[in-house]
A and B are shown apart, each in its own frame.
Chain A
Amino acid sequence: MKLLGRDIPARELIARIEERLRTRGLPTSEEVELPAEGVEPRVEPLTFNLHALEEYADATRALPLHTHRGGVGQVVLLAKWAFRKSCQVFINEALGRQRVFNGHVRDSYAQLSAEVLRLRREVEALRARPVPAASDAAVPQQARAERREHEAAPSAVARPATEAATMVDTVLPKPRAPQAHPRKPARPKQPVGAASPDVESTSAPRAPAPSKTARAKKAAPSAPAQPAAEASPRRNVSGSKKKRRNKKSR
């Protein structure tokens, strides 16, 4: 036990109180679990947003049944469950278009964020290049400008697509295993915080950025380490597979 305070005789005070506790027959030292210290880790926004879009893109899927209330809250939960059970078919009907729309938003975001990551790496790589030697001064200005332009241009062909895909894997979330019971209310997703391995991987220093082909770019958000078939069906097609799944489960 530590007491912090400039204006108190900390040691004397602790000794005095411990003595009193002994007199009262109370233990003077207890095992206490100390909380985690330190600041919270960075949450990579692009990864987090993609996770969140994936989690919430399907507007027909029920949110986890939850209430912050006791007592009456249980009744509310039961009512929500009953509503879902009896009205899912109507919910699907009403929100079908929204689900397709959300899927497009998710896919667009995935493509754009992958592009942002690629560009960031290119900028980093360009910044990391050594400063031109003094002899460069002799190169005509136009030639230098042309060279800069050439260096800055996405050199998709020059870099292997496999390398690009590997890079993407380190910054974008891993696909989740397909759900056996898609209609069952999902558990709330793990916060992308200290406990999330995704964040660790995204926070790690990145290698110099290679470029990637247009195909790799498109595949990037859902480019998994495992075969494409294992990836969540919601990731690739905006709505069509999901619709079938809903029908099946009915």
Chain B
Amino acid sequence: MAIHQLIPSFVPGDATGQAALHLQLLLRRMGHAGALYADEVGPGLEGLASPASALRPAPGDLVLYHHGIASPLSSRLMHLPCRRGVVFHNISPARFYEGLPLADALVAGRAQLAAMAPFAEVAIGVSDFNAAELRVAGYRNVHTVPLFIEPERFSRASADAKLLQRLEGPGPVLLGVSRVMPHKRFEDLLALHREVLRLRPQARLLMVGGYEPGSRYFRMLQREARGLRGVSFLGRLSHAQLVAAYRSASVYVSMSEHEGFGVPLIEAMAAEVPVLAYAAAAVPETLGGAGVAFDQKRFAFLAELAVDLSEDPALRGPVIAGQTRRLEHFSAPSVQTAFTKALETVLPRPAPKKPGKVPERPRVALVVQRYGEVTGGAEKLAAQMAEHLAPHWDLTVLTTCAKNHLEWDNAFPPGPDVVDGIKVLRFPSTRVRNIRGFNGLSRQVFDKSNERLREEQWVAEQGPMCPGLLHHLATERDAYDGYLFFTYLYAPTVWGLPLVADRALLVPTTHDEAPIRFGVYRDVFERPRALLCLTPEEHTLIEKLFPHHAPTRVVGVGVDRPRADGARFKEKHGIHRHYLLYIGRQEPGKGVPELLEYHQALKERFEDAPDLVLAGDTNMALSGEGVRYLGRIDEQDKHDALAGALAVVVPSRYESLSLLTLESFAQGTPVLVNGRSDVLVGQVERSGAGRAYTDLESFIQGLREVGSERGPMGKRGLAYVKKQGWPQVVAAYREEMQRILEEKRQ
């Protein structure tokens, strides 16, 4: 059974869309798969939400429709052949818009709300106030599930530095955040600011929110603001800018005459700004005793109060502390408890668990984004682990039909498959990646503070989008005793792991790269039963980025040492000089352009400079003096190439463990690695079988040393890999899985 959500509009900055995204996160944590469907999908968000017309629920599925202003989706909901629920976000009373076209849509929205009542099995209000309106509208099974907030996204570190600097200045600074609409009463903010100016002539007022510059209401506000000092209309801001506005404010003020919840109230709390709010509709409920609510708009009085809240630490401190306590009510776990309670009334009860024996040969699903004849370190590791664990586990690989990780186009047929004796179940990928668009999005979101929507968008664009795989995880969870996920980065792990986190192990292959700082990866590192790291450096990185990570264990990898012949490789490919070797994905993200640049510089400076041999899939031009690109090569050829190389170069700076390095050691060949990767430097330092470089000079120097000490270094490398054997690695995996099985049995 899936739980889908239907939203009128899914665009950035829309509170309903954000609520749907948050509920989807909770649903995954509760083990339910499901998708978002919207009448209007914002540009670039097609990966996250599908058009409402594409919604085809199964009879047992539940569709939660987010209702606000009038939408044709309410009629569609009533006719869906499945179970139905309504999430009510409130509708502004029409009395604020009498005589305006908007009034019609507001009343129509309320009529639709009442019309849906007999068709909804469950109704959710985001506040008790909304829940009361649902009951008045005729709903029976009504629950309150508040919206939640991720306070860490409102920390000072998340603020846009430029805007923060621009907004620096004398206080007090009052802040109002909302769409510029008549019932939000921005004119009252101006009236308050006028009074504050009498007390503090340097005071400022920041007004944040989307507005129509030509609208009569906005022009009225502009006219009123004209005679006042220190008023800034900042308009709609990005998330980081919004945080900067909150973090620049002394007091957050709400003069709104109607709020069904009041998201900015809790955002201000998260940004540690005292809240001063008119106690309208759900505002007192949202504040829950925190902040300061008032019942009369006496501006002279409120100005005094705002100044006190800004300047009096004895008043400000306890208010901020109280607000921080209040935020607990809007935390994800707290909201999940309420949501679970609401859904329990409509979902089938899970069958009671029967304590049983720990299976001798547990059924384990190995989840990885690609499998089979594919290039990629993590994928190769997954294949090696599958091969070594298959004798001990009843293993099924759950993966996509994709072969190419840049586009994720379906190359393998969907359904059951067998690869080297391992059972594989493939699910089609539903989107082909537009790599140019993806790179553009990456530039926008990397190294910045983002709202969840942007990060989820990035994950969707990263892909592979494979709803079938997620559905399988959610619905067939009892078909497996445990799960083994590979790689933290891709969508099947980010969205699939939470579905089965209570019995999942993750081999994260953590890289120190920009996206790992996204909040969406917190679940990936915090929710599985254990993280299996490949190196101590990876463990250190996880400690640093995810202080609340799941239990971690360094398991390493085993290395095969097949017989190899370097001369055979040279002869086969007509190579007559010494050569440096890099085998792997030939792409910018792996540092290949820098390697080519250094090699060309080497050729220009030294007559006897070695050639550069490259092998593996590529999506870039590989050319230059002495550069040989061989394409994909088979396993024996690879080991022959490793054995015959002067040194193996590992140019990537993002590595959780370099299998190439270990395979090189296994053939007695030293390595020259990118010194900006802690993992590679750690491998070289522990083995003493190579050198690290950070620029051209250190590249040349490292190559000299490796060339002159190739023999002793090679021996040290061989000794290093002999210590890491498959039996120890396999035993570590089995021990961790056994822990899960024991717990499951109880």
Contact = CB atoms under 8 A, between A and B. Distances in A.
Given A21-B300, A193-B94, A193-B95, A69 B293 contact: no
Interface string A28-66: 001010111001111111101100100000000000001
Interface string B290-322: 111111111011001100100000010011011
B127 to A, nearest CB: 11
B75 to A, nearest CB: 10
Contact of B295 (A2, A43, A71): A2
B353 interface: no
Given A32-B298, A39-B133, A188-B104, A17 B212 contact: no
A130 to B, nearest CB: 23
A191 B214 contact: no
Interface in B192-219: 212, 214-217, 219
Contact of A69 (B101, B216, B294, B315): B216
A200 B129 CA distance: 21
Interface string B99-134: 111011011101111110000000000000100110
Interface string B256-296: 01000000000000000000000110001001011111111
Contact of B216 (A20, A39, A45, A73): A73
Contact of B111 (A20, A45, A73): A45
A218 to B, nearest CB: 23
B101 A66 contact: yes
A3 interface: yes
A32 B257 CA distance: 14
A85 interface: no
Interface stretch (A4-12, A140-148, A150-158): A4-12
Chain B binding surface SS class = helix
B136 interface: yes
Interface string B133-158: 10011100000000000000000000
Given A32-B296, A69-B214, A73-B214, A39 B94 contact: no
B216 A4 contact: no
Given A39-B133, A193-B94, A1 B301 contact: yes
Measured as residues with beta carbon below 8 angstroms from the partner, the interface class of chain B is 35 or more
Interface in A95-111: none
Contacts of B111: 43-45, 48-49, 192
Interface string B467-498: 00000000000000000000000000000000
Interface string B65-102: 00000000000000000000000000101110011110
Interface string B362-379: 000000000000000000
A71 B215 CA distance: 10
Contact of A40 (B110, B216, B284): B110
Contacts of A52: 104, 108
A68 interface: yes
A68 B292 contact: no
Given A1-B295, A17-B308, A42 B216 contact: no
A13 interface: yes
A7 B321 contact: yes
Interface of B: 91, 93-95, 98-101, 103-104, 106-108, 110-115, 129, 132-133, 136-138, 212, 214-217, 219-220, 257, 279-280, 284, 287, 289-298, 300-301, 304-305, 308, 315, 318-319, 321-323
13 contacts: A1-B295, A2-B295, A4-B295, A6-B290, A6-B322, A35-B257, A42-B136, A43-B110, A43-B114, A45-B111, A69-B215, A72-B214, A188-B104
Given A4-B294, A43-B113, A191-B104, 19 more contacts: A2-B294, A2-B295, A2-B296, A4-B284, A4-B293, A7-B318, A18-B301, A21-B301, A35-B257, A40-B110, A41-B136, A42-B136, A44-B114, A45-B111, A45-B112, A66-B100, A68-B212, A188-B99, A191-B107
Q: Shortest 6 CB-CB distances between A and B: which pairs?
A: A7-B322, A45-B115, A6-B289, A48-B111, A43-B110, A191-B94
